[in-house]
Amino acid sequence: MYKFNDYLRACREALNLTQNELVSNLIGLSKDFSSLDTTTLSRWERGVSKPTVAKQTLIIDYFSKQLNGALPLVGSVKECEIQASLCPDEFSKLFGQNTHQVMKFPTHHIESSEFKVVKFVESELKSEALSKHQHVFEGLCNIPLDLEQIQAFSLNSSNLFLICEYQEQYFGHLFVLRLKPDALDDLLNFRRTVHSLNGDDIAGIDEVASLYFFGAFAMSDEVISKLFIHFYTYLIKGQELIQDLGSIVLTKDGHQWALNMNMQLEATMAFGDYSGYKGSINRVLNNQMLVKMLFNAENGAKT
């Protein structure tokens, strides 16, 4: 995985910019760079010092717009390297105190490597995962799910259904639908319901898609962290074909989770407590939490 100094230099070179040109562009981008000069930029690129995470995020946002990618160049990094950069403790904070979806089962004594995250189709625990997904969704939303429908969605290779296993037992899951952009927009603005979705609404694996966070459950913070590390790796690796990410929430913890994911309020249901949140792939990936984890494995002097 890139260190920030290497990433900064690689992106600058990908744009065929000199250090002088990049300095000039960053000064024009934000007043936060008003005192930037080539000496400082050179120190950043050599790893002698580095900008604050807030400045790093602004720089990456600039590169993302110039190179047309949420995290340019990172998509080519090996999955194992991306996962190794992601901190479980940070991901456990995403859900806050959401006891509806993250239990407090004692798993802290289990090594992270002992948890196995597999795709739905590769697991022997399909029925357990489907049953739990249905139970949690119906418990939260008070809306019955069509089991036949979610079985079809879970088997569709375009969608992402991850199951976390430990010693051949179910410990959690994460379910994301890969929708056509119009379908997600209709869902989040309450023009359609999940029940109305069908195979025609699912985007192909080679199509630009909008991801709908259908649900997740975990026995512990350690498990939800493991699932989200795999999910963010999926987002990073597939960023070129992901337009945005959305979810419908109704609890206080759900609202906070959506904000922690860097999504924004899209719409609120006229009758009821449901709210739709959405964030572009650039917004979801280019946030300070993720930038800090990916590019700042080692502490250094910040300027």
What domains are defined for the chain?
4-70 (1.10.260), 78-285 (3.40.630.30)
The sign one gets for the Cα dihedral 181, 277, 287, 88 is negative
> How confident is the model at residue 99, as a pLDDT?
63
Q: pTM of this prediction?
A: 0.93
pLDDT tens figures, 221-241: 999 999 999 999 999 999 999
Does the pLDDT at position 301 exceed 50? no
Question: Is 91 in contact with 287 (CB distance < 8 Å)?
Answer: no
- What average pLDDT does the structure give for the chain? 92
Does the pLDDT at position 294 exceed 70? yes
36-54: average pLDDT: 97
Does the pLDDT at position 98 exceed 70? no
Cα 218 to Cα 273: distance, rounded to the nearest angstrom: 24
Query: Residue 146 is which amino acid?
Result: D
pLDDT tens figures, 142-192: 778 888 999 999 999 999 999 999 999 999 999 999 999 999 999 999 999
- Which one, of 277, 261, 271, 169, lies nearest residue 223 by Cα? 169
pLDDT tens figures, 247-293: 999 888 888 899 999 999 999 986 778 999 999 999 999 999 999 99
> How confident is the model at residue 56, as a pLDDT?
98
> How confident is the model at residue 302, as a pLDDT?
44
Cα 251 to Cα 284: distance, rounded to the nearest angstrom: 21
> How confident is the model at residue 76, as a pLDDT?
93
